[in-house]
Amino acid sequence: MKRRTRRSLPASLTAGVLLAVCVLAAVAVIQRLAGNRPWLDYRTIAAAVRNAQWTDLVPALVSGAVAVIGLVLVWAALLPGKCRILPLAGDLDSGAATADYRSALRAAAAEVDGVDRARLSTGSRKVKVRVKTARTRTDGLADAVRTAVESRLDRIAPARRPAVSVRVRAGREVS
């Protein structure tokens, strides 16, 4: 089961650049074999590289850009991706999609009486619920939302139980 996202963007960019270089090299070789003047003349490129000095601006900028792109690609490959499957308690091979997990917790918060809108953000250790209500008195609403979300968490049973924090924002009275 894939629990993290794949590195499709860095891999696609690297593959695209390598493909472009290979196509240009193949076209130049085919043109030379056919007896035509190639688009990329090896002698011209070699002369430009041979005449360039490290103290010049162009080689410094090009080498700096290549180094930065390489570091960004290495960084993107080493960092873990977003968790797409939430491991559940009990069986090691069971999991729930994080989008479904978030939707279930948001629905549990929205079902509480008095809640007009519920927004939710999930992390590995904390679930933050932001609730908007039209009530002017919000006594006990945060506790009711916390109880509903924790009850839903008990039914889902994630491998690592996050803490739940609730913030209630009261709406304004219409006069």
Model confidence pTM above 0.75: no
Domain 97-170 falls in which CATH fold? Alpha-Beta Plaits (3.30.70)
CATH 3.30.70.1350 residue ranges for the chain: 97-170
Residue 52: count other Cβ atoms within 10 Å of its Cβ. Answer: 13
pLDDT band at 145 (very low <50, low <70, confident <90, very high): very high
pLDDT at 134 over 90: no
- Please, which pLDDT band fits residue 92 given cuts at 50, 70 and 90? low
Lowest mean pLDDT among 5-9, 34-38, 55-59: 5-9
